[in-house]
Amino acid sequence: MLKPMLAVCGLVLALVAGPGAQAQVTIDFSKITCEQFIGYKIINPTQLAMWLSGYYNGQRGNTIIDTETLAAQTSQLQDYCLRNLKVPIMQAIDVMFHKG
C-alpha cells in the first residue's frame, strides 16, 4: 500500500515541479545599466551590442551593419560605461551616438 502511495506522490511532485523548469527568461533592455553591460551581469556585452545595433538600425530602416564600426562603437560604449556605471545603456547610446 505504501509503494503505490509513494509513486503517486512522486508523480504529482514531478508534474508540479516540471513546468517551473520551462520558465522563459526575458530581458528589458531599457533597464540595463552600464554597470550591468560591462560587468557581464545580464548578457555578454557583444551580444547586447549586436541587439542594440539592430534595434537602432531598424528604427532608421538600415539593414546594413558595418562590423568594424560596430566593434569601434562597442568599445566606445564600454569606455563611456566605465565612467558612468549607473546610466541606463540606451541613454548612454543616445548621449554618445545620437547627439543633435
pLDDT tier at 53 (50, 70, 90 boundaries)? Answer: confident
pLDDT at res. 68: 92
Residue 37, SS3?
Answer: helix
Distance in angstroms (rounded) separating the CA atoms of residues 12 and 14? 5
Average pLDDT over residues 3-25: 55
| Residue 8 resides in a domain | no
What CATH number does residue 56 fall under? 1.10.890
pLDDT at res. 9: 47
Residue-number span of the structural domain to which 68 is assigned: 24-97
| Residue 75 resides in a domain | yes
Res. 5: pLDDT tops 60: no
Q: Which tens digit of pLDDT belongs to each residue from 56-98? A: 888 889 988 888 998 999 999 999 999 999 999 999 998 888 7
Per-residue H/E/C for the chain: CHHHHHHHHHHHHHHHHHHHHCCCCCCCHHHCEHHHHHCCCCCCHHHHHHHHHHHHHHHCCCCCCCHHHHHHHHHHHHHHHHHCCCCEHHHHHHHHHCCC
Higher pLDDT, 24 or 92: 92
Which pTM value belongs to this model? 0.67
Q: How many domains does the chain have?
A: 1
| Residue 71 resides in a domain | yes
pLDDT at res. 49: 86
Res. 47: pLDDT tops 60: yes
Instruction: Please choose, from the candidates 83, 90, 88, the residue with its C-alpha nearest in 3D space to the C-alpha of residue 49.
Output: 90
| Residue 9 resides in a domain | no
